[in-house]
């Protein structure tokens, strides 16, 4: 099983590129954002808890997200590969993922980190907010809070993987197709 993490701030193109990767490489796509939005849609107690954090642009508590990932991995032991989108977002989550994969005799092959400047992130997310109706894209204050959470809590995760020599930075300001080409160049070396 090939495990690839698509890493980057909100709006860097993780979800967008994960869809392209799934189409070409037939990997399982695990997006913690999508899983949480599904729980909210189902009005589960987990969803109600998560919503309070997401609406403010804050990260959902680690134990909630790690529990969801554990469940997803247990149900998908025999897939060819997994693309993790939006997970891990804290060093605690990264350590938990390592442990879960170790139990499956597996590990992270590569972390592909999309680099996009903050102003472009805000521009993209406001644009999406105008059509998606997503409560966390609805105004610049919440979006800037999400970007702040990224720099405070998520950026240290890239150093965690840099120390393991599995992090690769990918310029993410070009078009969707250009960025996919850069990602595919890296992925083709692994599959
Ligand atoms: P996510 O669902 O992961 O949302 P995201 O980071 O904003 O989206 P993404 O980065 O995938 O969007 P994309 O750039 O593709 O998380 C939402 C919330 O859930 C978090 O804030 C947090 O509260 C919670 N959460 C999720 N995972 C968690 C975890 N592990 N721990 C704790 N909390 C967690 O798309 C953005 C826009 O840009 C789109 O409109 C797209 O069309 C556009 N775009 C993409 N690439 C482009 C390009 N190259 N050029 C122009 N536009 C582009």
| pLDDT of the residue at 138 | 87
φ, ψ (nearest 5 deg) of residue 46: -60, -45
Average per-residue pLDDT for the chain: 96
Dist. CA 13 → ligand 1 center (Å):
7
Mark whether 128 is an active-site residue: yes
Q: Is the pLDDT at 161 greater than 90, yes or no?
A: yes
- Could you tell me the pLDDT band of residue 44, with boundaries at 50, 70 and 90? very high
The CA distance from 177 to 188, in Å, is 16
Q: Is the pLDDT of residue 133 over 90?
A: no
pLDDT(132) > 90: no
Closest CA to 155 of 1, 2, 10: 10
Clarify whether 89 is annotated catalytic.
Answer: yes
The ligand 1 atom nearest the CA atom of 173: 49
State residue 182's pLDDT score: 98
The mean pLDDT of 42-60, rounded to a whole number, is: 95
Whether residue 137 has pLDDT greater than 90: yes
Cβ atoms of residues 191 and 25 within 8 Å: yes
Nearest residue to 170 via CA among 32, 53, 12, 55: 12
Whether 167 shows a pLDDT value over 90: the answer reads: yes
- The structure's pTM equals 0.95
Q: Is residue 15 helix, strand or coil?
A: helix
- Measure the CA angle with vertex 103, ends 97 and 104; round to 5°: 95
Binding-site residues, ligand 1, Cβ < 6 A: 10-16, 32-33, 36, 53-54, 57-60, 65, 85-87, 89, 93, 124-125, 127-128, 136, 146, 175-176, 179
């Amino acid at each position: 099983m090939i495990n690839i993490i698509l890493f980057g701030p909100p709006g860097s193109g993780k979800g967008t590129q994960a869809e392209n990767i799934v189409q070409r490489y037939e990997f399982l796509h695990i997006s913690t954002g999508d899983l949480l939005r599904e729980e909210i849609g189902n009005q589960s107690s987990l969803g109600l808890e998560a919503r309070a954090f997401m609406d403010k642009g804050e990260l959902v508590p680690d134990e909630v997200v790690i529990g969801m990932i554990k469940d997803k991995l247990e149900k998908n032991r025999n897939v060819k590969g997994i693309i993790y989108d939006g997970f891990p977002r804290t060093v605690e989550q990264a350590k938990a993922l390592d442990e879960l994969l170790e139990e499956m005799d597996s590990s992270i092959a590569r972390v592909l980190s999309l680099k996009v400047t903050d102003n472009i992130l805000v521009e993209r997310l406001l644009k999406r907010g105008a059509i998606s109706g997503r409560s966390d894209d609805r105004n610049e204050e919440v979006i800037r809070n999400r970007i702040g959470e990224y720099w405070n809590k998520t950026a240290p995760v890239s150093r965690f993987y840099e120390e393991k020599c599995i992090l690769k930075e990918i310029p993410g300001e070009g078009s969707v197709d250009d960025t996919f080409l850069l990602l595919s160049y890296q992925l083709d070396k692994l599959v």
